[in-house]
Amino acid sequence: MATEISAPGTQRAIGNEEYSLYSSLSEEELVQMAIEQSLADKTRGPTTTEASLSARANRQPAHFYPWTRSTAPPESGSAHLGLFQGVMQKYNRNKASQMAPVDPVLKAIKEDDEEALKAMMKAGRNLAEANKEGWLPLHEAAYYGQLSCLKALHRAYPATIDQRTLQEETALYLATCRGHLDCLQSLLQAGAEPDISNKSRETPLYKACERKNVEAVRILVQYNADTNHRCNRGWTALHESVSRNDLEVMEILVSSGAKVESKNAYGITPLFVAAQSGQLEALRFLAKHGADINTQASDSASALYEACKNEHQLVVEFLLSQGADANKANKDGMLPLHVASKKGNYSRFNDMPACDKAPCVVQFCEILSAPEVSRWAGPIIDVLLDYVGNVQLCSRLKEHIDSYEDWAVIKEKAEPPRPLTHLCRLQVRKAIGKYRLKLLDTLPLPGRLIRYLKHENTQ
C-alpha cells in the first residue's frame, strides 16, 4: 500500500484511484506539478507576513502529490490551466462518473441475479432494448460471463441471439473475447451463428486464436466455424495462431480444413509469417503439412529473405535445409545474401549452391561497392551490360550509380527492355560460340555486320 506523509510522524493510506492517477505521471510531469503548485502558493496566499504565517500554521504541508492538492478553483485572473489543474479536473470528473447511479439491469447481471431480471420482465420492462452503444442486456450477460442471466434473457428474447452492437459484436463474440466458455457453449447450443464478425471482420474463432484459447477454438470448430475466414487485413485464424507459435491451435485448425497457403492482403502466407517472426516450431509444422518453402509476398520478398532481414538464424538454417531458393530476389533485386551480409550474418550461405542464372550481375555488388574499386564501378557495369540481356540491378548498385551524375546513362542503359538490336546480337554471338568469335574477321561477312557483332558499333 502506497502512503503519503502529511505531517511529521503521521501517514495516510493512498486510495487505489489516487494511486493510479499518480502512477500514470512521469517524473518530469511530477516535477512540473511541483513547480506549478509552488508558484500557485506564492500568488494565491495573503500578502502580509502575519497572515502568511497564520495561514501556514493552519494548512496542510504543500506536497506535489495530486491527492494533497487544494480543490479550490483558481483565481479568475489566472491564465490557462497548468498540468496539475488539468489532472485534478480529470480526476474529479472520474470520481463524479463513478458516483453516477447504476442501472438496475446491469447491477442484476453483474451480481448474477436471475430472479431480479425475471421480476423486471414480469413488471413490464423491455430487456430487448439496446443502449446508446447498441448493447443489449444479453451482451452484458455474455461479457460478464453470467450464464444463468444469459439463459434467462435468451429464453425471453430468442430473436436477439445474433443481434450486434454498434461495433457489430454479437454476444458470442463478446463471450469468446472474455474467455467465458460456458456462455460460449450455451450460445452455440442455442443456435448462435459462429461466423458473424465485428467491424474489423474478426470472427469469434479469430479472437480465440488471438487469445490462445485452445478450448474456445475447439468448441467453435465443433460448431463448424469457418477456419478460412479473413479479417480486414486478409489474415486468417491460422495466420494469427502462427504468429503466436500456438502449435495446438494450429493442429486443430489445419485438421479442420484451414488452408496453409492462404494469403493476406499483401500476399503473405502463414509460413511467411512464421519465418518473418522467427517462429521455428510453427515453421516446422507448416513445412510438414506441405506449405511452400519458397513463398513470396507481393513485393517478391521470400520467406528466406525476411528471416535474414530479421536475423532469425535458426529459421534461416531450417529453410536452407528444406531447399529454400537463396537466389530469389525481391522487387529491388536484393537477395537474402545481400541482407544477411548487411547484418553481418553471411556465414550461413557458405554452402549455398552458386547462382546459375546467366548472367548474375548482382554477384559483383559487394566488390564494386568497395572503396578501392567504387570509382570504376560505372565503367565496369557499362561493359558488362554489353554482354547480357534484360537484367535487374540490385538496389545497392543502383544507389552507387546514382551517386555519380555522369553515370546516369549507365542506369538508363540497364533499364529493361533492352534494345532489340542488342538482344539479337547476343543470340547471334551465342550461336557462333565463344571459340569461333575470334575468327569473325576471317568470315565472308560485310564489315558493318562484323563490327556489330564485335561491339565496335554499339549504336
pLDDT value of position 25:
58
pLDDT greater than 70 at residue 73 = no
Residue 203: pLDDT band (50, 70, 90) is very high
pLDDT greater than 70 at residue 84 = no
On whether residue 112 sits in a domain, the answer given is: yes
Q: Which residue has the higher pLDDT, 163 or 366?
A: 163
Top mean pLDDT of 148-152, 310-314, 339-343 is at 148-152
Contact of 221 with 241, CB cutoff 8 Å:
no
pLDDT value of position 396:
63
Least confident of 328-337, 342-351, 422-431: 342-351
pLDDT value of position 8:
44
On whether residue 409 sits in a domain, the answer given is: yes
- Please provide the average confidence, as pLDDT, over all residues in the chain: 78
Could you count the other beta carbons within 10 Å of the beta carbon of residue 104?
13
Least confident of 385-389, 400-404, 429-433: 400-404
Sign of the four-CA dihedral 55, 60, 65, 69: negative
Task: Specify the DSSP class assigned to residue 12.
Answer: E
Cis peptide before 104, with omega less than 30 degrees from 0?
no
The beta strand positions in 286-409, using DSSP E, are: none
The one-letter amino acid code at 419 reads P
pLDDT value of position 343:
60
Mean pLDDT of 298-311: 91
pLDDT greater than 60 at residue 129 = yes
Which of the listed residues 193, 216, 247 is the one where a domain comes to its end? Answer: 193
Cis peptide before 417, with omega less than 30 degrees from 0?
yes
CA 280 to chain centre: 19
Mean pLDDT of 10-21: 44
pLDDT greater than 70 at residue 27 = no
Least confident of 69-73, 112-116, 251-255, 451-455: 69-73
Residue in the structure block whose three cell numbers are 475466414: 229
Which of the listed residues 163, 193, 223 is the one where a domain comes to its end? Answer: 193
On whether residue 381 sits in a domain, the answer given is: yes
Q: Which residue has the higher pLDDT, 26 or 149?
A: 149
On whether residue 412 sits in a domain, the answer given is: yes
pLDDT value of position 74:
42
Give the CATH number, domain containing residue 138.
1.25.40.20
On whether residue 45 sits in a domain, the answer given is: no
Q: Domain span at residue 122? A: 104-193
Which of the listed residues 193, 224, 247 is the one where a domain comes to its end? Answer: 193
∠ Cα 228 232 234 (to 5°): 45
pLDDT value of position 96:
60
Contact of 52 with 46, CB cutoff 8 Å:
yes
Domains of the chain: total = 2
| pLDDT tens, position by position, 135-177 | 999 999 999 999 999 999 999 999 999 999 999 999 999 999 9
| pLDDT tens, position by position, 173-190 | 999 999 999 999 999 999
On whether residue 91 sits in a domain, the answer given is: no
pTM of the model: 0.57
On whether residue 126 sits in a domain, the answer given is: yes
Residue in the structure block whose three cell numbers are 531447399: 323
On whether residue 357 sits in a domain, the answer given is: no
Element (H, E) at 13: strand 10-13
